[in-house]
Structure 1
């Protein structure tokens, strides 16, 4: 062997020796939780643990049952990737909310945690995603918890069963239940996730004694049901409800408020899917059920079963049966601009619009038309549906909690930017989310692009600070920003436009108008208070004791 060859081999040997001597790639952070050991990832001082199972969903022949205990594991579980999303239909067309669907599975009951590396007894913020109880995932990029966690809180996002797989009621399912009920499986999943948090979050630096539940749209609907669910009592200590809607819900077997009973809806769905019995329904693939159920007219919703959901939300809150916790709630100026499917076909002209309102709203017609005039039909219809669903609910929530002596904070998100104004989507439904989570660069592909400028960054900083502060102490505060008045302080609220500004009496008298209409419908007993607003409202029932 010649000299140059020997030298080359020596260099190779030295290189191999150097590689063997080099330390192995740094492992991710490992947490020993009561549920098991998990290994996550870390970036910029924030540790992330993803796809941790909090329960095992019944699947296949055991489908449609309460969540079961999660299966344990040996060693450190890889927690660097989100778990699969719960089964859901694909988008039916272009949507600003649509993502490319991730992997989906019936085995989807997992949660994700973002925590500061030095967290100890930190506040916990549990996020429940929206999506009409039909779509979405706790792993959607817009819900990345890193920026909120940088403010010293532990952020948790969860998955829960969706659509018919999560909310179906059926006589056969009720017969199997020891309680004689069915439906609400998605809500039971959420309760199971909170129970997991109570048992395990201390290992991640969080305080099980300082938990805030939070959600937007269907997530906020879920927050309200958790506030009134006996099984959820004591599992959280504050609540955030963004664009919540306290609409009427179906009864399990009786036609509450004019709605088809949930068991009858389930029987109808099975027939339309060609399933002769429960066994045949369970034999269908989860994908087939998720895709076909919406086309039959089935819409998932919580069920008043007398157990998990004791009664209509308005009744529970009026009886002061809800959790006595501080609340932060609000809605957006342009809620319906991106939800136009909630609007009926507009009348032919102003005269037809006014005639319909006078027929439908009786003695309240003048008050209705003063707020939603006939001369601007489109804007009036957008505003009326927004106020009757989201505005009325938000003000009712803060009013109810203030009456219990709890902190109650109302907001009105009224912020726009060039893309939203160009697309006529000013302050649309869910537009506040990237500001709260600090995820302006992680919105869905068709979402109006948020400018990367000082105004937008300052607003995101302020909103993130307010939300994190509320999770910490029950009082929303932000450095260099105005104090957020409690609703008990002369109907105080925060107007969030180009910058936050404190105010009083948001849309004065508007929530009271919709409360009066709802009260009459509730008293009548055969009329829902859902999306039947304005020109498609049923005629106003007669005045009764206790209602205006």
Structure 2
């Protein structure tokens, strides 16, 4: 897609009804209240707009509460606070400067073309393992997508224990007798705000795409499965998502400790005897100490917000019936080696561990991940079991319910990534999608300013913008992106975009067979226990390979 194609998309957006905009085009009068934004690089930008009341005091660990419309004109020229989160423990390619943190963090940002009317809306959900990150990170700047005719929204949501803690006392005070999942409820509240208000900013509340990477992609899947989110979006983008098993709220399912029990354990380790004591703790203390106790934030299957395991929801065809664009990166685990177990001493030990874990499926596993290249095999196996299997499962499930589905592999490297052995690492596609190669974090492998890099970024930005606008990713001058339903079509983003069919034959089926047997056994989690640390494969069950 060239710039001319992007202008064509924008021209379509201009045909819709005029929004309610004040005389000064940097002021918007929305149902939530009037806001004063700014103009940056020819795009109107509105920052730090609250979409829910601050979840502080007695509102901590409760569903988000809508705000009453404010009076006067609210300043929207500065990003809001990031949600409380632990400080990085050491140097990281992902670490950057965040704004101040506060529990008063439920805000969103909007980039909108000048004079936009009825433009497609792209809602971005940041990653960070549900523990860190913020909508204000420079790599998520929405200007390039807005120049393609989209209204771009990025949101904050509660993180860590403040966003996902379940606890018996919290469940007892809930009208639905559930707890946890507050970060997911925040995302739903943000989408409800978008539905009520985005027309005033030139967007179309009836054409909303939700999108996210890593934990943001995980969130996209949970929004697709959440009954309360149904109808709030119309397309989905899941980049490097992971459909791993989740704990039950009260019951031990799939070998996982119940979420309420995890919350009770965390409270004890924080020295809080009851819920009142927990609410009295400073948010920063909870955010910083929780990870050191072994607590890991995750949605829980409560039967209400999250009806069942994601795999079951998608198998039953109960997810949102929307077009999807999903994929993963070839080097996902190169920057996430914390997910790898310790390598065996030699090839014989590697092969023995795999045979012990995979039983009759071991020959298939070893053919794909051979013992002669242990490091590369372990990187690929963990990548495929988490991100590759999830991505192909998503597009396959959506295709099965008659929805357009677009699959990709990001496989691009450049000198710095090659030097650091980080080819196509986790999140490496982000600056190409957002057109933010000059706005990456300080330690990010520097992207060279070359024509080839700019052209790849322009193409990816255009594909994503076209999908958000029309449900079909297109880029003039580049191949049409084949639907996954057409012979397992996919797009390969290496030096230039190339269309293909049948990516990694048999790989997703291998990991699906393992997951299927573990699900049937009922007492084994999946995806986190891959390769040399896999538990013995359960017997073959009905419907499983």
The TM-score by the shorter chain falls in which range?
Answer: over 0.9
- Look up the match of 1:493: 490
- Superposition TM-score, scaled by structure 2 size: 0.95
Partner Cα separation in structure 1 for residue 227 and residue 313 of structure 2: 11
User: 1:364 pairs with 361, 365, 368, which one?
Assistant: 361
- Per the TM alignment, residue 44 of structure 1 is displaced from its structure 2 partner at its CA by 3.6
2:397 maps to which of 381, 397, 400:
400
Distance 2:467 2:508 in 1: 24
Whether 1:303 and 2:295 are equivalent positions in the alignment is: no
Q: Does 1:223 align with 2:248?
A: no
Correspondences of 1:61-460 after superposition (within 5 Å): 61-460=58-457
Distance in 1 between the 2:482 and 2:218 partners?
24
How far did residue 531 of structure 1 move?
Answer: 1.0
1:512 to partner: Cα distance: 0.4
CA contact (8 A) 1:495 1:501 kept: yes
Shift of 1:59: 0.7
1:29 corresponds in structure 2 to 26
What whole-Å deviation, never above 9, does each CA across 1:83-104 have from its counterpart, x for those lacking one? 0000001001000000123211
Is the CA contact (8 Å cut-off) linking 1:127 and 1:158 kept in structure 2? yes
Q: Which runs of 5+ in 2 are unaligned?
A: 1-22
Q: In the TM superposition, what is the alpha-carbon distance from 1:28 to its structure 2 partner?
A: 6.7
Residue 511 (1) aligns with residue 504 (2): no
Asked if residue 537 in structure 1 is aligned to residue 522 in structure 2, the reply is no
Where does structure 1 differ by over 3 angstroms across 4 or more consecutive aligned residues? none
Q: Distance in 2 between matches of 1:271 and 1:474?
A: 48
Q: TM-score, normalised by structure 1?
A: 0.95
Kindly tell me the number of residue pairs found equivalent between the two proteins.
523
Contact 2:109 2:154 in 1 (8 A): yes
CA contact 1:67–1:189 (8 Å) conserved in 2: yes
Contact 1:90 1:101 (C-alpha < 8 Å) held by counterparts: no
Q: Secondary structure at the match of 1:367?
A: helix
User: Quick check: which has more Rg, 1 or 2?
Assistant: 1
Q: C-alpha offsets along residues 291-324 of structure 1, whole Å, 9 cap, x if unaligned?
A: 0000000000001000000000000000100000
- In 2, distance between residues paired with 1:338 and 1:165? 27
Partner of 2:20: none
For residue 333 of structure 1, report the CA deviation from its aligned partner.
Answer: 0.2
Task: Supply the distance in 2 between the matched residues of 1:294 and 1:99 (Cα, whole angstroms).
Answer: 20
Q: Deviations over 1:238-273 (max 9, x none)?
A: 000000000000000000100000000000000000
Taking a change above 3 Å as real, the CA distance of residues 524 and 426 of structure 1, as seen in their structure-2 partners, is: same
Q: Write the distance in 1 (CA, Å) between the matches of 2:105 and 2:435.
A: 26
2:15 is matched with which residue?
Answer: none
Whole-Å Cα distance in 2 between the matches of residues 375 and 57 of structure 1? Answer: 55
How well do the aligned residues superpose, as a CA RMSD in angstroms?
0.9
Q: Can you list the C-alpha shifts for 1:403-444, whole angstroms capped at 9, x where unaligned?
A: 111110000000000000000000000000000000001000
Instruction: Tell me how far 1:63 sits from its aligned partner.
Output: 1.1
1:187-224 Cα shifts (integer Å, max 9, x gaps): 00000000000000000000000000000000000000
Partner-residue secondary structure (3-state), 1:38: strand
